[in-house]
Amino acid sequence: MKKFVLFVLLIGGFSTIWLYLTERTGLLPLADANFDVYFTEDRNGSVTMHWNSLPYPCRYEVDCFFETTGRLTNGVPKLRRIASGSTKEATFQVPPTSVPMFYQISAYGIFGKLAGSLTPTVHPAYAQPYKPDIILKYTEDAPASLKPFFAWHPVPGAVCYEVEILSAPPEKEGGVALSNKNHLFSTQRVYTNGWQADLTDWKNRQELYWRVRALTLEKKPIGEFSETEKIIINPSTPIPDAPLINTFMDMPDNYPLLYPVYQWIPLNGIIRYEVELLYSPPDAKYDKTPPPDREWYHIADDSFSCYDEYSRSDPGDYYWRVRAIDANGNTIGRYSETATFHVPETVNRPYAAAFGDSITHGGGALSYSPANREYDYMTYLDFPALNLGRSGDRSKETALRFEEDVLPYHPYNLIVMTGSNDLRSDRPAEEIINDLATIRDKCIANDIRPIFLTLMPIHPENIYTAFRTETYGDWRSKLSKINAYIRKQEYYIDLEPYFYDNTKTKLDPVLGTDGLHPDIPGKMLMAELINAHRDLFRQP
């Protein structure tokens, strides 16, 4: 028995020595290995990255990066890690993303790193020039009905999209022009990353083609048309009669929104919807009648999203769905699928939380709500932070909800930015300053460090173009007074100087399309400035 044990120990020792020599002395040329990467995507938009396996047992680490704005680094963007994952297989399911992402693969053995990709690989959906990457596909095995849903990966900064239906592939792929020869129909009235087509005018065709391109607020192209997608049609395929829950591109997040936003792809030609929230899944799937025990519901007109006016802080699972309704509140078709989100147990004194209006809550480029977490500056912070923002707040409303929305979490640091909605109103600067002072005093009284962000400039002309609302009074004078107060606080981060256009008078449209809300580059820049001032934050 002793000899057997000794034999096992010797074999184990030799194996360990062999592994060590293999990994550390280059017996196999692992350090020079290249990873040949390619991507696959399923019908629901889930992307998997593949690469060649090393001829040696190892685990792979995949680091996910986004590119900074470069505005704080002399115009040179830097890659910043946002997530990572580990796998023993040479595959990795890419986290959903609506921003250009880069991936770097490293292989590790028992004794350390074996090999690594030198150049990060870009997500295929965001290769230049941008082309929307189609998600839902219709084939011989899964043919389309006469009213199929189309869906695609969002293009960063797109306000709306133009969808073209064709009888055959266009004369040339890509580009920004509609087809001259094979064009059948097009529309620019698509304000989310999906649309329900109506193909009944071509019901005798067995196949059609479609493509989509992204547009700015002025209906100018962003990038090019997507690759043309062939649609196999079967008129006997049931026509969808329920809105399609739009969770295709839900990015991973540290915490759910305190004030949720619900999104869907609407039915063609239907403008009225009702969203409902439940504490348990509905008893019947695809039914038509509201359940008696629903927690909350709200009617949204001519919309594809709905903002919950109540905070959802109680821990547990929540379920929501949406139905199209007529003028009398009757269901058109059926309820959608049921989506869910989970609220974890209250964090015991989180490191940080962000408190404010829609700039904190998220959203941007007119069409994107806070549910699109790429428009949430907390996505790009170097540390996790609770999002306690609420769209539509004026500074008074933000101050009034401190006890209900901040104190239950009792963060060490509270990032405060509110008052932007007051800039374009007739409220005097002194009232906004009083509200900020109230928030500061409440923080100090509850052992919370308030870290104020100066307000950013606005762009009244673009606000009017986007929302058809006027900006009242001398907003520049009001901004100057409010920010002068903020700069007198013990802890503040000065955002204002970085958000002006070339004239140094208004919000840079590159950072905020609608003149008020920063878009993805603006939210990234906010986070970069906050990350650069980590010394202001109180450590637990």
Residue 459 lies in a domain: yes
- Residue range 9-67, pLDDT digits in tens: 345 454 555 445 555 455 555 666 678 899 998 877 788 999 988 887 889 999 999 99
CATH number at residue 175: 2.60.40
Judged against a pLDDT cut of 60, whether residue 462 lies above it is answered with yes
Q: Which residues pair with 80 in a beta bridge?
A: 66
- Residue-wise pLDDT for 350-402, tens only, equals 999 999 999 999 999 988 999 999 999 999 999 999 999 999 999 999 999 99
Helix-helix angle 475-486:429-445, to 10 degrees: 20
In a domain, 161, yes or no: yes
Same domain? 414 vs 334:
no
At residue 174, the 3 state secondary structure works out as coil
Nearest to 193 by CA among 87, 64, 305: 305
Least confident of 28-42, 79-93, 395-409, 463-477: 28-42
The answer to whether residues 115 and 163 belong to one domain is no
Kindly state whether residues 379 and 493 are assigned to the same domain. Answer: yes
> Which of 343, 371, 402 is a domain's end point?
343
Same domain, yes or no: 301 and 373: no
Structural domain tally of the chain?
4
CB 161 within 8 A of CB 144: no
DSSP E strand boundaries for 228-325: 229-232, 244-245, 261-265, 272-278, 296-301, 305-307, 316-325
Give yes or no: residues 336 and 380 share one domain.
no
192 and 302 belong to one structural domain: no
Same domain, 320 and 365: no
Report the pLDDT value the prediction gives residue 5, as an integer from 0 to 100.
39
Same domain, 54 and 190: no
pLDDT digits (tens, 9 = 90+) for 277-331: 999 999 877 789 999 889 999 999 878 999 999 999 999 999 999 999 998 999 9
Where among 209, 232, 255 does a domain terminate?
A: 232
Whether 120 is covered by a domain: the verdict is yes
Residue 467 lies in a domain: yes
In a domain, 2, yes or no: no
Residues 116 and 177 grouped into a single domain: no
Neighbours of 221 (CB within 10 A): 17
**Residues 488 and 410 reside in one and the same domain:** yes
4 lies in some domain: no
Unique residue bearing structure tokens 């969770």? 247
Q: What is the phi/psi pair of residue 229, to 5°?
A: -110, 130
Domain boundary among 343, 362, 397: 343
- CB-based contacts of 237: which residues, under 8 Å, 6+ apart? 143, 144, 145, 146
Q: In this structure, are 187 and 317 located in the same domain?
A: no
Asked if the structure places residue 1 within a domain, the reply is no
Report residue 8's pLDDT band, with 50, 70 and 90 as the boundaries.
very low
Range of the domain at 223: 149-232
Q: Which CATH number does the domain housing residue 32 bear?
A: 2.60.40.10
Within a domain: 269? yes
**E strands present in 292-375:** 296-301, 305-307, 316-325, 331-332, 339-343, 352-356
CATH code of the domain in which 360 resides:
3.40.50.1110
> Are 206 and 263 in the same domain?
no
Question: What counts of helices (H) and strands (E) characterise the chain?
Answer: 9, 28
Query: Other CB atoms closer than 10 Å to residue 488's CB: what's the count?
Result: 9
The per-residue pLDDT for range 203-236, each reduced to its tens digit, is: 999 999 999 999 999 999 999 999 999 999 999 9
